[in-house]
Every structure is written in structure tokens, then in C-alpha cells.
Amino acid sequence: MTEACIRTAVEAIHSSPYQTVLYLAGGASQILGLLLSVPGASNTVLEAVVPYSRMSLIQLLAKIPLHFCSQQTADDMALLAYNRALKLSSPGSPVIGVGFTGSLASGRPKHGEHRFYMSTRTADRLWISKVTLTKGLRTREEEDRVSSHLLLKAIANACKVPSNDIPELSESDVSDECVKQFNEDQELEQLINGQICFKIYPFRSEIPAERKIILPGSFNPLHDGHIKLMEVATRICGDGYPCFELSAVNADKPPLSVSQIKDRVNQFEKVGQTVIISNQPYFYKKGELFPGSAFVIGADTAVRLINPKYYDGDYNKMLKILGGCKETGCTFLVAGRNVDGAFKVFDDLNVPEELKDMFISIPGEQFRMDISFTEIRKKSGT
């Protein structure tokens, strides 16, 4: 594979909209140099991790794999990388999770095969491959180069850019691959089951900003009050990408069905508003999913957020959990709402001193809705 072919493939990858997280163990180390040495790498590479020791890989997977070098391990790595890419990517950008694990030539002879497994995960596709190399045909460096080139080809294919100039293996090597396609319903099922952490529907037309302004809710139905509140919050923040967020999983109710999710998503498409479907009903978990975001909430939600009752009655536990949310860089924009029969704004709440700088008040003169969203839902008959 000539340097010109490599550069052409990498430039095409960097010109695509895809953003990537790579988890690599046991080989393909040269892929990082191939990607990072060509200008535009920041368009593509969000993160690269090399869990080279067994303990490092165990910590990454949060389990001891049955086999460290296997297709299952590569698939698990790719799924973790995909979820990580979702969290790190610009809102609405397509992402790829890359997993690689290999057992290549080493300083001492190996009894088993010289082999490696690759997996690339996108929103609608899982591509997997096992390659068995001919023993004694190449040095360790050469085997690493071959695995790096084939992984580059896999990434190019996931980015939907040409990779025909990348050479294939020798006749004595063995390669086996397959592709699994996912439709929208299957992807949402994976989200409900916790396999993927969220799915974004980027219905807004403008270019996304890195920071998200997130208004969570059930949106049953979406109404003008939600839209107006988001507009006010966006003006206060000054910058950021407005996103509504619906959790498919509820703390005290059954999860939404796929058809229910799609019905609610359809509301946002009609009004050109971006919506994120997540599986986290708790704000401290939302903070982990969307670090650095500004969450738009009502005073009634803020009251519950700082109430030790919802933290097993433990005030210090509440401080610790919300302190962790604060460390992710998240803030809360609080709109006035009816609380126990009285209209209250942020300044009426008894917020612990340690947490006050997490909260920003939305002035009542900028947004006020005395009727609750629940009452609106009842009046609409939904």
C-alpha cells in the first residue's frame, strides 16, 4: 500500500461527517499514526484508547472476557466505543465505534493462530471480521501494518468513502466477515434495553454547537409552552444547541414502547426541533451522558432535585450526587412554576450554598406559565 493510497483514504475519511472512537488491543497500533498524521484528524478522531494489559481491558469492559482475543470482545469494544462517541460527538454527527483485538507475532513462538478481530459499529450497522494470518510470513511489525491497513479500510467503509486501493491479504491468509443491519425500531429497542445510551434526531437546520441546551420532558404532548421555554433558555445561554430530551425509561413507570417513542418524535419533526431519546430518567445520569450541558427545568423539578427525600433521605448523599453532576460542567436553568399551589422562581428555593452556582434563574417576566404541563395534557385529552 503506497503512501499516496494511504493519504487518499485518510483524507476521504477526514472529509466525511463521521466521528470516531477507537479501542485497540493487541495490534493495529499504526492506525493511529495513519489517521493523526494527515490534517483534519480532529474532524474524525474523538478519542483513541489502547487497553493493552489484561487488567486495562477488564476495566474497559467492566467484566472478564471469556477470551481476550475474540470476536465477542471486539464487538463489545466497538459498542463501548460507539456509546463513548455518542457522548463526545457534536450533536447530530454520525459516529463510529471501532473495536480491535489481536494476537500477533511476539518475541516467542505462539502455539495458536496469528489472528485479529475487527468490529465497527454505526447507528444502523455492525460490521465484524476475523483475519487469520499465515504464520512465519511476516514480522510483528509487518503483521501490525497489515492489521492497521485493514482496519483503515474498515473505517473508510463505515464512513462510506472509497477504499478500493487498499491491498488485500495474501492468498494464504484467511479472512471472514459479515454485516448486521439495524432499522430504526431495532435501534430503539437497543436503547430501551440499555445497549446504546441515546439516539438523536437532529431536526433543526442550523449547524450544531458543541454545548447542548437540553429541555427534558415526557412531551405527551409537545406544546407551545415547551417551545417558548426553550427559546428563552437559548437566549439566556447565548450559545449552544437546543435539544429536547425524552427518556424512554422511567423511574417509576414501564418503559415507553417503540411506537410511543416514534409518535412523540414525530411531533418534533413537524416543528423542526431536535430531540434526543435517552434511557436515563435521573438528572445525575443525564449529566454523565451530556457533560457540559445546560438543562432547562421548572422550579417544581428543581425542588425535587435538591430534596434529600429522593436520595434515601440522606442530605450528604444529595450533595455528593449533585456535586458529581456539577463536576461534569452541567448547569440548570430554572423557570418559574407552580409549587404546592404557589408560583415560585429559583430565588424562592432553599438551594444549598455549595450548589447555587449550578443554577441560573429564568426571570418570570421572560417566561411564566401558571398552568402545569400535566394540566395541559389533561385538557388536550392525551
Domains for the chain: give ranges and CATH numbers. 1-181 (3.90.950.20), 186-380 (3.40.50)
The predicted pLDDT at position 382 comes to 53
pLDDT in tens, 14-57: 999 999 999 999 999 999 999 999 999 999 999 999 999 999 99
**Beta strands across the sheet bearing 275-278:** 198-201, 275-278, 241-247, 212-216, 294-298, 331-335, 359-362
Q: Inform me whether the pLDDT recorded for 377 exceeds 70.
A: no
Whether 87 contacts 197, CB under 8 Å: yes
The predicted pLDDT at position 140 comes to 94
Distance CA 148, CA 316 (A): 49
Mean pLDDT of the chain: 92
The predicted pLDDT at position 372 comes to 55
Q: Inform me whether the pLDDT recorded for 101 exceeds 90.
A: yes
pLDDT in tens, 168-206: 789 999 999 999 999 999 999 999 999 999 999 999 887
Cβ-in-10-Å burial (0-12, 13-18, 19+) of 370 comes to exposed
* Average pLDDT estimate for 227-251: 93
Residue whose entry in the numeric block shows the C-alpha cell 479501542: 23
pTM, whole model, 2 decimals?
0.91
The predicted pLDDT at position 207 comes to 75
The predicted pLDDT at position 210 comes to 78
pLDDT in tens, 130-160: 999 999 999 999 999 999 999 999 999 999 9
Q: Inform me whether the pLDDT recorded for 376 exceeds 80.
A: no
The predicted pLDDT at position 111 comes to 82
The predicted pLDDT at position 323 comes to 95
pLDDT band at 366 (very low <50, low <70, confident <90, very high): confident
Percent of the chain beyond pLDDT 70? 95
Residue whose entry in the numeric block shows the C-alpha cell 516467542: 108
Whether 185 contacts 149, CB under 8 Å: no
Residues 6+ apart with CB under 8 A from 111: none
AA letter at 101: T
Distance CA 211, CA 127 (A): 31
CA angle at residue 39 from 35 to 43, to 5 degrees?
75
CA dihedral 204, 209, 215, 218 (to 10 degrees): 50
